[in-house]
Structure 1
């Protein structure tokens, strides 16, 4: 997927946190520690460095949901992160995103903390992020 295609899907999925631009995706993809996993209807952008892996973003288009795509992408992320030498993985998810939290819990992630006021909403309010972690070994 091109940075523009990534931004188009991301823009259809996210309001809070705000969707990323094609330029932001291009900059991330230029980083050797960042990797893209994509299937029709969605993608996951991850990073692995110094024994840690992070899910930077996961976007599944509305019409592609409830078909296991998110679960497959998270599974592929865990395998790729381990192959890149990471021994644990983490992510931040909007604390009110019950569907995403359920997906990550189903993949073995557990809540490790909360970042209060981490995400900005379009109205200018601040939303909390739940920090989730999982061992890879």
Structure 2
């Protein structure tokens, strides 16, 4: 029974009461609370590719995203605002006791409104029963993302030299890790 409930929760995270109260009492609900996450499907790719292109000089191709659907250990989500507007997406890989955030991105029009935090909190909770550690890389030129990761408990663990393509060469990646198993 519990497994079925967790699968249902993984399929869609949505609170109809919050949406109702937001319509009736608009100031009573934080906009972050109206965001919902659901599994990404192929029909989401045009919106996802648009967000990817808006945020990155060297965006992932449609083929890379399609490969993420085929990979058995990848899980792909979109974050939606009311009216089914996709405002962000995240992709993680979970295997061998480790979770790795492969890609997370928020439409620039919705950044700094809680979508990134909501997706991060979701993937952390998804990974917690499935992995002992979570890893991610981030560009040093993205201080807002680094601040969010630190607030969520991630620790800087190293640098990957020349990890990201960049104009005129390559950019390093700062590596972060989060322990998913509580210390006793």
TM-score using structure 1 length? 0.91
2:24 maps to which residue?
A: none
Q: Matched residues in 2 for 1:90 and 1:39: separation? A: 21
Higher helix share: 2
**In the alignment, is the contact (CA less than 8 A) between 2:68 and 2:76 conserved in 1?**
no
**In the alignment, is the contact (CA less than 8 A) between 1:37 and 1:43 conserved in 2?**
yes
Cα displacement string for residues 63-109 of structure 1 (whole angstroms, at most 9, x for unaligned residues)? 111111100000000011123x1010000101221011011111111
Could you tell me which of 90, 108, 126 is aligned with 2:170?
126
1:52 maps to which residue?
A: 98
Q: Gaps spanning 5+ residues in structure 1: where?
A: none
Q: Gaps spanning 5+ residues in structure 2: where?
A: 1-39, 81-86
Aligned length: 133
**Cα distance, 1:53 vs. partner?**
0.2
TM-score using structure 2 length? 0.69
Larger radius of gyration: 2
Compute the RMSD of aligned alpha carbons. Answer: 1.2
Q: Matched residues in 1 for 2:50 and 2:111: separation? A: 16
